[in-house]
Amino acid sequence: MAIFKRDPWILDIYRTYSGESHLYVRGRALEDQPLKHYEQQTLYQTLRNTWRTFKTDEIRNAQVKLTLPNGKFFEVKADHEGYFLFNIATDFNLHNLTDEEGYLLITVSFDEDNSAFAKAKRQKRIKINKFTGETLVPYSEAAYGVISDIDDTIMHTGVTSFLKIRVAFNTFFKNYDRRLPLKGAASFYQLLHRGPSSKGQNPMFYLSNSPWNLYKYLEKFLDFHGFPKGPILLRDFPTPWDRTPKLKRPHKEHELLNILKHYPDMKFILIGDSGEHDVDYYKDTAQQFPDRILAIYLRSVEHKKKMQRVQSIADSFTICPMLLVKESKEAVAHARANGWIV
């Protein structure tokens, strides 16, 4: 008789951002096999990965421990969907623990003194209990930061398509190496990352309304197509019976403002598209922080009504440059004219 085999316990750690004395690390506790994405997958392999990406078994209320290279550790409890967040002030400078790019290596593990962990270990569902990740701690010397949308800003997605059919097709049937970046986007972002000195480490932040389930997929896409490394900030899709407190603002606006509050002395360039609500979030942010937004670049989408609305907003906006661009080279020319890139 075949014995039903349970998946092992794992901790997915998402690359997020932290401050000099403030940890901000997200992740999720799951019963699952670590997901593996490969280049040149068959359609069957892609569909299998997609199924596994969305078929997750969370570990509710797991006790999770985060350990830093200096031996300091912190503990939090995951929520009923397995998500955990370390949002903790530290009494020491995290920059002293980062690598040359400003990334802090972290180790996350399950609390071994917890009764649920002991039970899982008896059931041989604990194969390892040491999961590594990283969080970005930007240097104060950075010329500026860049906050960018993903969908139809750097990746052809189809968020304006009828019933978002193109979004579904691209997500479920295309592997990351078959997804197309917008022309010139990767090289433009590399220029922004290097900044006016061409040797900088300007922090890059990527926002999307996609669920956290797609984190590994999007991370692979950005790496494969040569985009600068940076935190990828997604969201939890609530279920009808989800009692988790709702954010006061939409996800992208919440993260946008949270980044600015994390780095009160840093200026930013905001990049999005004209197809969703980026123009509204960016406009409102610039109005709240008029001295900190250098420019807003919005990629044009093939939707006449949306384009007319966004163009009207851009024409009357005076706080900072707001440009609608069809191709990356237009944004490159503007950024270079202002001395932000070389």
pLDDT computed for residue 165 by the predictor: 47
Last residue of a domain, one of 136, 167, 189: 136
Residues of the chain with pLDDT under 50: 1-4, 159-165, 168-169, 173, 176, 240-241
300 and 179 in one domain? yes
Specify the length of the chain in residues.
342
pLDDT computed for residue 192 by the predictor: 98
Structural domain of 210: 145-338
Give dist(CA 305, CA 99) in Å, integer. Answer: 47
Total domains present in the chain: 2
What CATH number does the domain containing 279 carry?
Answer: 3.40.50
16-17 sheet: strands from edge to edge:
16-17, 131-136, 103-110, 63-67, 73-77
Residue 301 lies in a domain: yes
pLDDT computed for residue 6 by the predictor: 72
Which pTM was predicted? 0.87
Last residue of a domain, one of 136, 157, 182: 136
287 and 212 in one domain? yes
Joined tokens for residue 223: 């790496």
174 and 196 in one domain? yes
Q: pLDDT tens-digit profile of 78-124?
A: 999 999 999 999 999 999 999 999 999 999 999 998 888 988 999 88
310 and 228 in one domain? yes
Residue 4 lies in a domain: no
pLDDT computed for residue 306 by the predictor: 77
Residue 5 lies in a domain: no
